[in-house]
Amino acid sequence: MTTQKLTTQKPSIELSADTLLYATGINKSFTLHNQGRINLPVLNNANLEVKAGECVALTGQSGSGKSTLMKSLYGNYGVDRGEIWLKHHDNWVDLVQLKPHQVIEIRQKTIGYVSQFLRVIPRVSALDVAAEPLLELGIDVDRAYQKIKKLFSLLNLPERLWQLSPTTFSGGEKQRVNIARALAVDYPIFLLDEPTSALDAKNRQVVVELLTEKKSQGCALIGIFHDEEVRNNLCTRELRFDIN
């Protein structure tokens, strides 16, 4: 089955034209198979609708399920119940119903994820790590490198590091490579898991500006931002989680 076939479906309620993500009735629990099969309920009927130009902060106590929702929205975790509708091109797809190869297509074009940690591969340069998603989309190498170099410069990543593997980079340097990798792609939806946690004030501000630009271009942002100043500067509203 191709993504094309699934796009004939749509959410059961009428959504406004600028909605890009609509998650409804999300339940998620974990079964700890090696600990007596204990069941740990985490998300209980979570709902979220995000429109173009919005930035929603996921807030709440540690352990309340913020990362679990983010990983579910990216298809890393399967959910027990619920629907996760994403506007993919001009059609709606329910992530929950997609096959793995279709999820990959959605991740290439529609939903970007800035995780806290960069997956590094020895001997692959920072430039190549960051350009990979653009190259997978078929963008030519020179254009992809140009885009990444511009972002690296904005993010104050020293030029002497660009050709090196990020294996030995500091936490903040790795995080900036990760941010450039995601923000280089014109995704309409971004998931941001503490994207500034390892950055100093100057670079935090650069990231806030880059994300503000994405918002003004009509992207929908959903994120966990422990830094209150970043949250206040960027977010249009919050979704608060309680411990179940």
Ligand X SMILES: Nc1ncnc2c1ncn2[C@@H]1O[C@H](COP(=O)(O)OP(=O)(O)OP(=O)(O)O)[C@@H](O)[C@H]1O
List of residues contacting ligand X (CB under 6 A): 30, 40, 42, 62-68
Q: Which is nearer to ligand X, 61 or 97 (CB)?
A: 61
- 120 touches 166 (CB < 8 A): yes
CB 63 to ligand X: min, Å: 4
Residue 1 or 243 with smaller CB distance to ligand X: 243
> Which residue's CB is nearer to ligand X, number 3 or number 68?
68
Residue placing its CB nearer to ligand X in the complex, 162 or 225: 225
Closest distance between ligand X and the C-beta of residue 225, in Å? 11
Shortest distance, CB of residue 57 to ligand X, whole angstroms?
Answer: 12
CB nearer ligand X, residue 19 or residue 64 = 64
Nearest approach, Cβ of 178 to ligand X (angstroms)? 17
Strands, sheet with 19-32, edge to edge from the N-terminal-most edge strand: 38-51, 19-32, 81-88, 91-94
Phi first, then psi: what are they for 53, rounded to 5°? 85, 0
Minimum gap (Å) between residue 168 Cβ and ligand X: 27
Q: How many residues does the chain have?
A: 244
